[in-house]
Amino acid sequence: MNTTTELSFIHRIKPATEPGKPPILLLHGTGGNEDDLLPLGGMIAPGSALLSPRGKVLEGGMPRFFRRLREGIFDEEDVRRRAHELADFIAQARESYNLAAPIAVGFSNGANIAAAVLQLRPEALAGAALLRAMVPLQDPPAADLSGKPVLILSGASDPIVPADNARRLASLLQTTGATVEHRVLPTGHGLSQTDVALTKAWIDQL
């Protein structure tokens, strides 16, 4: 496991130990860092390369991937800029570490930036598992996501993500051609063992 600042994001990279498994891009939630989701990555995709960047935006000292105006209200100009920045980093990392296009696995703020990357730079990702995601852009471009697999796991009692918002995200991605599986779990905003099991099963069948 290496930590490096050589590319455009501070990140960790864990090389693959099994050939042919898709690389996983791990995107943390607010207040997380490049270490946060590594244990999750090991559980859901054993043997895969893991690439885990740290968000560059600070909110009260807590790393995030883009600015928000308040909870649930995003600075969409910043979302767009940061999504392109992250997509550029993915391209750098793919070249530096000889990786295929990764599957993003994002939680909360990390899931939201992954959804934005799908909509703005679809070539950057092979697919995405979006855990507790919201609609990142109210007026996204007409991206072509034909055949890209997307898993959305929402919490039925999530106090942060309204149920209709998660449904709208699933619909937006489906409309642009993504193969979307949306599951609503009997939980809140935090991750559960069911999230781990469902995400692993989803990655296993890719």
- Report angle CA 127, 49, 54 to the nearest 5 degrees: 75
Which two three-digit tokens encode residue 140?
A: 């996204």
Measure the CA–CA gap between 21 and 126, rounded to whole angstroms: 12
Angle between helices 76-97 and 109-120 (to 10 degrees): 80
Choosing from 28, 108, 182, 195, the catalytic residue is 108
Measure the CA–CA gap between 180 and 172, rounded to whole angstroms: 10
Measure the CA–CA gap between 28 and 105, rounded to whole angstroms: 9
Choosing from 8, 75, 189, 192, the catalytic residue is 189
Choosing from 11, 36, 158, 182, the catalytic residue is 158
Helix (H) or strand (E) holding 159: none
Active site residue 88: no
Active site residue 158: yes
Active site residue 157: no
Which two three-digit tokens encode residue 9?
A: 């994001």
Distance of alpha carbon 26 from the chain centroid: 6
Read off φ and ψ for residue 104, nearest 5 degrees. Answer: -80, 135
Active site residue ranges = 108, 158, 189
